[in-house]
Amino acid sequence: MKHAFLFAALAFLLGGCSGDWGWYVVDPRTTTGITNLKFLLGGLWYTILLSVTAISISVVVGLLVALPGLSQYRVLRAFNRVYVEVVRSVPILVLILWVYYGLPPVTGITIGIFWSGVIALALSDSAFQAEIFRAGIQSIDKGQYEASHSISLGYADTMRFVILPQAIRRILPALGNQLVYMLKMSSLVSVIGMQELTRRANELVVSEYRPLEIYTVLVLEYLVLILIVSALVRRLENRMKADDQR
């Protein structure tokens, strides 16, 4: 259904465009078109690698920041608040520039484009992950902790075996949203030269002067990628729900 709609839209663009449109730049029937398409699609791998690496890190960091936020100690809760508020206030683009151009002089270590992008995206996302985890963990009934304590489970075991497995099920939709968001935000890493989808489209536009066609392909690339990811996330959610109803 969705795909039919996509192809209809594409056909409409292709068809109604003979004069002003220059689809030849991405026409798979020509050698140039093929080369260009390959170049554009080659960015997909980097977009995915960047996003998946960043979100893997941000989930872990987010959890580590969320846990002190649930502590009975005020200092730990303050750490959580400060981290979340500060990190959340910095625009991702600014963070990318700051990590890439700012960190090396400060730390003396040069970080490559890829890892600069990963660090900036992960850092930015971790504040949101922390809030998601905190809400998820807080939604678990107090009785679950009490039962765990009554069978002598310590903090770590209670979290690992009782609280987090239940919390993660509840926050799965939110985690799916964050992944989608991350895939889109990774386009910002193009500004420091990361050869992902957006950067490649920009570069091709500079040499081919066909922004409309090339950016249309770019839109479709993101659209298809994200529809696929959304479907996978939904399938995972349904599987967990089915597990719950066994």
Partner 1 sequence: MDANQTDAAISVRNISKHFGDFRALNNVSLNVRAGERVVICGPSGSGKSTLIRCINRLEKHESGTIHVDGLVLDDSRRSRDAIRAKVGMVFQQFNLFPHLTVLENLTLGPLRARGKSPEEARELAMRYLTRVRIPEQAEKFPRQLSGGQQQRVAIARSLCMEPQIMLFDEPTSALDPEMINEVLEVMTELARSGMTMVCVTHEMGFAKGVADTMVFMDHGEIVETAPPATFFTTPATERCRDFLRKILRH
Nearer to partner 1, 19 or 143 (CB): 143
Contact 237, 173 (CB under 8 A): yes
**Which of 13, 48, 162, 174 is in the footprint of partner 1 by CB under 8 A?**
162
Q: What's the closest the beta carbon of residue 158 comes to partner 1, in angstroms?
A: 9
- 28 phi-psi bin (left φ>0, alpha ψ -120 to 50, beta other): alpha
User: Does residue 151 bind partner 1 (CB under 8 A)?
Assistant: yes
* Per-residue tokens: 112: 């490559």
Nearer to partner 1, 4 or 151 (CB): 151
How far is C-alpha 7 from the chain's CA centre? 26
Nearer to partner 1, 75 or 151 (CB): 151
**Which of 60, 147, 228, 231 is in the footprint of partner 1 by CB under 8 A?**
147
SS3 18: coil
Residues numbered 163-182 forming contacts with partner 1, rule: CB under 8 A: 165-166, 169
User: Does residue 3 bind partner 1 (CB under 8 A)?
Assistant: no
User: Does residue 161 bind partner 1 (CB under 8 A)?
Assistant: yes
Nearer to partner 1, 37 or 164 (CB): 164
How far is C-alpha 52 from the chain's CA centre? 7
User: Does residue 16 bind partner 1 (CB under 8 A)?
Assistant: no
User: Does residue 152 bind partner 1 (CB under 8 A)?
Assistant: yes
Contact 99, 120 (CB under 8 A): yes
DSSP letter for each residue of 50-82: HHHHHHHHHHHHHHHHHHHHT-SSHHHHHHHHH
Contact 131, 61 (CB under 8 A): no
**Which of 41, 71, 81, 141 is in the footprint of partner 1 by CB under 8 A?**
141
Nearer to partner 1, 44 or 153 (CB): 153
**Which of 49, 64, 70, 153 is in the footprint of partner 1 by CB under 8 A?**
153
Torsion, Cα of 148, 149, 154, 159 (10° steps): 40
User: Does residue 239 bind partner 1 (CB under 8 A)?
Assistant: no
The rounded distance, in Å, linking the Cα atoms of 37 and 164 is: 44
Nearer to partner 1, 18 or 150 (CB): 150
Q: At what angle do helices 31-69 and 113-138 cross, to 10 degrees?
A: 40
Per-residue binding string, partner 1, 88-127, x by CB under 8 A, is ----------------------------------------
Number of DSSP helices (H) and strands (E) in the chain, helices first: 11, 0
The rounded distance, in Å, linking the Cα atoms of 86 and 83 is: 5
Task: Determine the interface stretch with partner 1 among 24-32, 81-89, 140-148, 192-200 (rule: CB under 8 A).
Answer: 140-148
User: Which positions lie near partner 1, rule CB under 8 A?
Assistant: 141, 143-144, 146-147, 149-154, 157, 161-162, 165-166, 169, 244, 246
